[in-house]
Structure 1
Amino acid sequence: MSLKIVTNVADGYSTIKVGPGRVQVERPDFEWDGVPWQHTQQDSLFGPFAVRQELEIHEGRMEATDAFTRLNKLDLVTGATSDARLGIVAAGKTYYDLREALDRMGLDESALKQRGVRLYKPAVVWPLEANGVKEFARGLETIVVVEEKRAFIEMFMREILYGSTNAPTILGKRDASNGFWFPGHGEMDADLIARKIRPFLVQHLGEDSVGPAVRERITIPVSLGAPDSKKQSNRTPNFCSGCPHNRSTWVPEGSEAGGGIGCHGMASMTPTRNVKGTTQMGGEGVQWVGAAPFVTMDHRFQNIGDGTFHHSGSLAVRQAVAAGTNVTYKILYNAAVAMTGGQDVDGGMTVPELSRSLEAEGVSKIMVLTHDTEKYGEDAKFADGTEVWYRDRLDEAQRMLRDVPGCTVLIYDQPCAAELRRDRKRGKVAEPTMAVFINEAVCEGCGDCGEKSSCLSVQPVETEFGRKTSIHQSSCNKDFTCLDGDCPAFIEVVAGGAVPEKSALAIAEIQADQIEPDRLDEGNVLMIGIGGTGVVTVNQLLATAALLDGKEAHGLDQTGLAQKGGPVVSNLKIRRPDGELDLGEANKIATGEADAYIVFDLLSGTNPANLEKAMPGRTVALVSSSKVPTGAMVRDTSAEYPEWSALQDSIDSATIAEKNVYYDAGNLSDNLFRSHMPANIIVLGSAYQSGVVPISAAAIERAIELNGVAVEMNTQAFRIGRQIVIEPDFIESLGIEEEGKARRETKVSQILQSLIEGVPDASEELERLLKIRAVELVEYQNNNYAKKYVEKVSAVRKAEMAIGEDTRLSESYARYLYKLMAYKDEYEVARLHRSKDFHQAVREQFGDRSKITYKLHPPSMKRLGLDQKIGLGRSGDLAFAVLRRMKFLRGTPLDVFGNTAHRKMERGLVDEYQEIIDHALADLRPETYDRAVQLAELPDMIRGYETVKEANVERFRQLAKEILG
């Protein structure tokens, strides 16, 4: 027996009725080859045994299958049993898609009988039961076969009916004109079937028989057209936070690596990693062995997971050794089969044992890189010549191995981050006492830490002073690779003391006696979110709750690589037990059929492929507005989150806008529960209270209890979501600070206030910008420095006024002149690390007795050849206290830090920028205004410290030249 398993079957589920008499199987009684049929299995394939076995396979078993199918009435015929002229055939999951497509076009069971349409659902697709096929085809003029991929049923049905009297025309992959019809590629669902079959049905049954409502329901609303590419950003799979593959899959400049099976295969999605191609499991490197003699490249790296290696990949290594090919296998030793759920590696060896096994195979050189070089102990028996290094020497190790002839191996030993997180939760592994925190004020938002770590917990945030970076503490797996970022904003924190409550709400405060909504009796719930955040869990909770309520649930989780941070879409159809489901329906929600559109992730929720499931006048959207960055946004500072207004508009245009609910569930969850995981349950609570989840609250809370994970927290999260809908001002009453909104002191001196008020016809935004930045510049240097800033902005505003009412130029100039004037030298970094706001933020996150270590890499140490950051604890506070008081030395002959080429460059940038703006103002006209604004905004790209900043300054200068011509 063989089974064809598609996503809608493997990842689908349904409420079923079970009982001892539900299925009655009869065994056929017939003769074959003159004797009663008896299946035999030969354990020998020699001589006459093989001939006899072949005869039974090709004849006896075929007859037995037909007899069994016929006797047990496995094949299903519905619709018109007599006087039918049109037949439609579909099997398995496709049959239910077909039924749903027909039903949406007004062709339910009674309509099919009236219009002479007969349906056939073969339970056994091969061999097709010939008598059943002939009986189904009797009297039909045309048969349409609807099946996925290549023609299979169609081919065998044509074979059975060929040459018979009045044989019907059989169509499927091609139509009556021999044109392509039902595709042999991609996915087939009810929407596709409806679009493909409707013109055919209209032709044979008439427009009135199919009904005009079909066109309205299967057409995507015009407002859901392709969004502006600048406003749309796709979420793609990414390595988990702290995943060792974030670092291990990089190769040295000039090299490339082969991809393979496993999580590490996602490295091929990032072009800068230079991972090319993929292969079958266990075939890693085999293509290179064959290609190597015919190409000019003399070496290649090959990634392979430890699970794949122990499964079958060791044979590929053996082949490479035998062939003498120059290849370095990077065995990514994670001690778990993470791609399929974190199972243990069957037949796995320890790293020392693995090295000895590879030595026995004849590998030329073995190196081990790890996050913990002390864990093996002194008694570890590695193969002779094996070198064990710390993981930060990856580039050096790879350069060494690629110069060694023959097959070499680098074992990168670091546990799977997802499994490590689970083990910590289960108490199997101790939680690290240390955490990493970023001083937002010191951070330049350059993205260097994101590029080096590729970690999704290193998240960009928008602040008053532009894009910055923060560590999302509740998702951080504490790999600490982000510390490699060339930036003094990082600190290490050991939590201690009392952590103040972030909100006035105690999580046990909301009781179960909340106002009950008027809710649907049955309906379709579509949930869209990010893999690994509990979307599938929410779907399972609802399906369980439906069962507890005595209703039927039919669901599908469209996951793909969702568990790796990619998008996930969960479908759930909830029906009354007396609903018309005897003939089945698809478990995937069709176009315009969603009643509840629950968006846990904005980017996935605004994807047109998901939005088409909603429909104005029917669908209510419950949306978490949390801005969760994609992997591209973490790695690339030019990748921006789409505008909120555009995202909201796209959802509102597809739903009942006035009933939609939006709020930042992620920030709310982090503040109330110090974890992002309950966020989805909060949104679920809002969906329930909006009346679009046709299950009782008691059943949902009971399902949460049965799930057994964080029961009290998730129950309260559900009730909080309900309360948000019941009480519109509920979130505001909690006093939770909006993410990215830092406290700002805006007490302006009388002199500066007078100067600001003297800026001609300043917009409200320009006045706000000047007040905040003038105060900061006083702290940065002195009053005169701030005065100079305001005067320069005032001059630009005067020139701007002369040509119109637009204020973008003066506002942009105010932002970026400040950015360049307040460059972060040693004095400024010291001031910002000693700020009250920063230390209060640390106490709120980690406790009032937490200990701080500043991670610094001063330029003077770099010049001495010290490549690693140093850590300063209390001594750092003392040094910063002294340095901040020495700011008056900045730019003077006594400035010991100011004579480097880098600091001279930073001071000179202010004058460079002013020259660019002066050039723009000299030719400022309505026609050149946009160009002037573009020039004023150029310093936004000047981010980072030292070499990172210098590279960005070169980009700034080059782009300025191009714009100025």
Structure 2
Amino acid sequence: MTYKLLYNDAVAMTGGQRAEGRMNVPDITRSLALEGVRRIVVTTDSPRDYRGIALDPIASVRHRDELAAAEEELKALDGVTVLIHDDRCAAEERRLRKRGKLPAPAEKVLINERVCEGCGDCGEASTCLSVLPVETEFGRKTAIHQASCNTDYSCLKGDCPSFLTVVPGTRPRREIPALPVTLVDPEPRVDPDATLIRMPGIGGTGVVTASAILQMAAHLDGLFAAGLEQVGLAQKGGPVVSDVRISKQPHHGILRASRGTADVLIGMDLVGTASDATLAVARPGHTVAIVNTSLVPTAAMVTGRVVLPGSTDDAVERIGAVTRDLLAVDAQTLSEALFDDHLPTNMLLLGAAYQHGVLPVSAEALEEAIRVNGAAVETTLTAFRWGRAAAIDAAAVRSALVAPQPAPVAVDEASAELARSVAAGTGLADVLATRIADLTGYQDAAYAQRYAEEVRRVTAVAAARAGDAAGERIGAAYAHGLHRLMAYKDEYEVARLHLDPVETARRDAAFGPDARVSVMLHPPVLRALGMNRKIALDGRLAAPAFRALRAARRLRGTPLDVFGRAGVRRVERELVGEYQALVRSALDRLEVDTVDGVVAVADTADLVRGYEDVKLGNVERFREQARAALAALTG
């Protein structure tokens, strides 16, 4: 048996206090040896710290990058073995940097959204919850959530060329605008004599702090209040549930909300709020819900193993089905637009709850409780007031704070005209225009024309066999899938997308136009020579090479295409024809009652994601699921 001992320098879930009476790692190795352990491996991000340190002879030190290999090695040994992972808790490191007790790395990590394939490999490599999946015009991608990033850099591992490191430059100081609405006292929606509030959220985001502020506000108003916190893995972003009872008379019963007893549900985390356990405490026709609609993915979502069932709208609808009234607020988006930080999200939502009339305390008491709490007072007060404003006029608040996102691809008139002609009588014009323009930039107008004609053919066949609505659904799925496979990201395309002006503008807005940027690449020639890590290319030096590669894209697929000889490139070229044949076979089986099955076949192209070995593995998944989807049509 192999035991894993996590030596993270802090007591979990209690604010990072040092463990009193703890043993250091050398003493632990000697103690374990006396207990009869056969072998010990210590993994750490800084093996040099162990130079000159005397461990027990059965112990060795490795870099944390060798963690998986060390686990396999220990697993193969008979007897008891131990792996000691010596690494400070990442959340504690972030806390120390915020307090100025630990130097903050200058470099930030950024992902070029266009280059990203959304394969989840970086999430697998880092197991970091700041590596977030995001939905875009071109499907699922990945973004680094800067506010919660621990600057661990383990997400940089792997072959993906979408990563950049950025040393921020200067940018204008963020000015918080005036409130776009006038704050007024709300009409109460709950019984002022006794109110039971449940607040499900995420550890480390201030759920317990919000509970304490709410209880203090009740006391300041002369009311009785008590709370019960069910704290999960707070240091790792686990679930936290807070129940607060506020009443005019002392409460001597059970504090925790039970089935159907919650008067108010303040959903600080959408996933936790939509869970069966949370919804069980609500009562249709009675409970009022205020929900943060920003989705914070779980670890399984980050790595792509699971997704939220349905959309965020489905989750909100599920919550609404067991409540009598629901206010949905995109609180995290507003918080980050205001402060560049997600931590004020819960206080913003508390402000929305107050303005919705479900908190039986006064605004004056809540603001005084924030001052008494003493942490980030002005930021917290601002968040509370903007939350109130969002409950009054969400559109006005969003308009004041959230800038519209630029289109991912500039659509020229020729692409738009071709899209309109292909999509005549359907609603596909916008989808096609974006992809036709992108494929024109990817290769040339003739390549985009081939794409458009192929989508036209499939849409027409589907409409003739199963009706116009079916033709549009199948055509849309095929348009997305065929574009994904035709616009495979070889060296020419990666270079073009790293020069993309939309991505450059987004980066400049986030980090300043004078930011120092490096592109993290793993060139095939270096990989062939045995280099198993990326290299950082200064963005200014890489730009001329990228422009040369972009100009050479018309060599793609010709005898002069030196990159096209690689095995993964041959597979990518073959997949286009393979997918077209697959969809033709599905259309041969199309009837009115098999439309969903044909759409499922067309959707399998979305499985083809990633770079190098990750992509080749996903190609096998695509082929397997495509065969199964096609077989289901005939079965």
Is the TM-score greater than 0.5?
yes
d(CA) in 1 for partners of 2:387, 2:455: 46
* TM norm structure 1: 0.62
After TM superposition, the structure 1 stretch with the greater mean CA deviation from structure 2, 604-613 or 619-628, is 604-613
Cα distance change of structure 1 residues 586 and 360 upon mapping to structure 2, 3 Å threshold: closer
The offset of 1:720, in angstroms, is 0.3
- How has the CA–CA distance of structure 1 residues 613 and 457 changed in structure 2, closer, same or farther, with 3 Å as cutoff? same
- Aligned pairs for 1:252-291 (under 5 A) are none
In the other structure, the counterpart of 1:833 is 498
Q: Does 1:461 align with 2:130?
A: no
Distance 1:560 1:760, change over 3 A: closer
Of the candidates 913, 919, 924, which is equivalent to residue 585 of structure 2? 919
Query: Offset of 1:843 from its aligned partner?
Result: 1.8
Instruction: Using the TM superposition, name which of 850-859 and 772-781 deviates more.
Output: 850-859
* Aligned-partner residue type, residue 784 of structure 1: A
Counterpart CA distance in 2 for 1:491 and 1:642 is 32
1:635 maps to what in 2? 303
Q: 1:610 aligns with which of 278, 290, 303?
A: 278
For 1:701, the aligned partner's letter is E
Letter in 1 for 2:422: V
| Alpha-carbon distance between aligned partners in 2 of 1:557 and 1:863, rounded to the nearest angstrom | 54
Distance 2:72 2:239 in 1: 37
Supply the distance in 1 between the matched residues of 2:235 and 2:28 (Cα, whole angstroms).
29
Q: Whole-Å Cα distance in 2 between the matches of residues 652 and 407 of structure 1?
A: 52
Match of 1:820 among 485, 504, 507: 485
Q: Of the candidates 706, 723, 729, which is equivalent to residue 395 of structure 2?
A: 729
**Shift in CA distance, 566/368, structure 1 to aligned 2, threshold 3 Å:** closer
1:937 aligns with 2:606: no
Segments of 5+ residues of structure 2 without an aligned counterpart are none
**1:539, 1:897 → 2: CA distance?**
58
Q: Distance in 1 between matches of 2:184 and 2:231?
A: 35
Report matched runs for 1:353-372 at 5 Å: 354-355=28-29, 365-372=39-46
Deviation, structure 1 residue 878: 2.7
SS in 2 for 1:867: coil
Cα distance between partner residues in 1 of 2:418 and 2:425: 11
2:450 paired with 1:779: no
1:732 corresponds to which letter in structure 2? R
Cα distance in 2 between the residues matched to 1:940 and 1:879: 30
Query: Which residue, out of 525, 531, 544, partners 1:860?
Result: 525
Per-residue CA distance 1:239-261 (angstroms, 9 max, x = gap): xxxxxxxxxxxxxxxxxxxxxxx
Query: In the alignment, which residue of structure 2 is the partner of 1:204?
Result: none
Provide the rounded CA distance (Å) in 2 between the counterparts of 1:934 and 1:362: 56
Matched-pair contact (CA < 8 Å) for 2:4–2:85: no
Q: Which residue of 1 aligns with 2:156?
A: 483
Q: TM-score, normalised by structure 2?
A: 0.92
Residues 112-167 of structure 1: CA deviation (Å, up to 9, x unaligned): xxxxxxxxxxxxxxxxxxxxxxxxxxxxxxxxxxxxxxxxxxxxxxxxxxxxxxxx
- Match for 1:963 among 624, 629, 633? 629
Task: Indicate the residue corresponding to 2:422 in structure 1.
Answer: 759
| Aligned equivalent of 2:413 | 749
Provide the C-alpha distance between the structure 2 equivalents of 1:760 and 1:388, rounded to a whole number of angstroms: 62
Cα distance between partner residues in 2 of 1:650 and 1:666:
20
Secondary structure of 2:222's partner?
coil
Shift of 1:759: 2.3
Judging changes above 3 Å, is the alpha-carbon distance between structure 1 residues 792 and 390 closer, same or farther for their aligned structure 2 residues? same
The aligned amino acid for 1:634 is: V
Which letter maps to 1:533?
Answer: T
How many Å apart are 1:888 and its aligned residue? Answer: 1.2
Residue-pair matches, total: 624
For residue 574 of structure 1, report the CA deviation from its aligned partner: 1.1
1:569 equivalenced with 2:241 (yes/no): yes
Secondary structure (helix, strand or coil) at the match of 2:148 reads coil
Q: 1:422 maps to which residue?
A: 95
Alignment of 1:294-305 (within 5 A): 300-304=1-5
Q: Is the 8 A contact 1:510 1:720 kept in 2?
A: yes
Aligned identity (percent) is 44
What does the per-residue CA deviation read over 1:850-909, in whole Å, with 9 as the maximum and x for residues that have no partner?
111211122332222211111111332232122111111111111110111210110111
Q: Distance in 1 between matches of 2:153 and 2:347?
A: 30
- TM-superposed CA distance for 1:511, in Å, is 11
Taking the TM superposition and a 5 Å limit, the aligned residue runs for 1:58-207 are none
Q: Kindly provide the amino acid, as one letter, of the partner of residue 458 in structure 2.
A: V
User: CA 1:472/1:499 → structure 2, altered by over 3 Å: closer, same or farther?
Assistant: farther
CA separation of 1:755/1:500 partners in 2, compared to 1, >3 Å: closer, same or farther?
A: farther
Partner of 2:227: 555
Query: Aligned to 2:49, what secondary structure does the other structure show?
Result: coil
Q: Contact 1:597/1:614 (CA < 8 Å) preserved in 2?
A: yes
Within 1, Cα distance between the matches of 2:222 and 2:155?
Answer: 50
Residues 1:452 and 2:131 are matched in the alignment: no
Residues of 1 paired with 2:324 and 2:57: CA distance?
70
Distance 1:923 1:532 in 2: 52
Specify the alignment match of 1:179 in structure 2: none
Structure 2 CA distance for aligned equivalents of residues 511 and 443 of structure 1: 37
Aligned equivalents of 1:375, 1:664: Cα separation in 2: 45
Aligned equivalents of 1:727 and 1:757: distance in 2? Answer: 37
1:215-254 correspondence runs (5 A): none
Gaps in structure 1 of 5+ consecutive residues: 1-299, 305-331
- 2:300 corresponds to 1:599: no
Higher relative contact order (CA 8 A, sep 6+): 2
**Residues 388 and 879 of structure 1: is their aligned pair in 2 closer, same or farther, counting only changes over 3 Å?**
farther
- Structure showing greater Rg: 1
Q: Which amino acid aligns with 2:45?
A: H
Cα deviation per residue 1:422-466 (whole Å; 9 max; x = unaligned)?
222222111111121111111111111112222111111111111
The CA deviation at 1:734 is 1.4
1:371/1:593 CA distance change after superposition, 3 Å: same
Deviation at 1:716, TM superposition (A): 0.3
Alignment partner of 2:218 out of 534, 537, 546 = 546
Does residue 686 in structure 1 map to residue 352 in structure 2?
A: yes
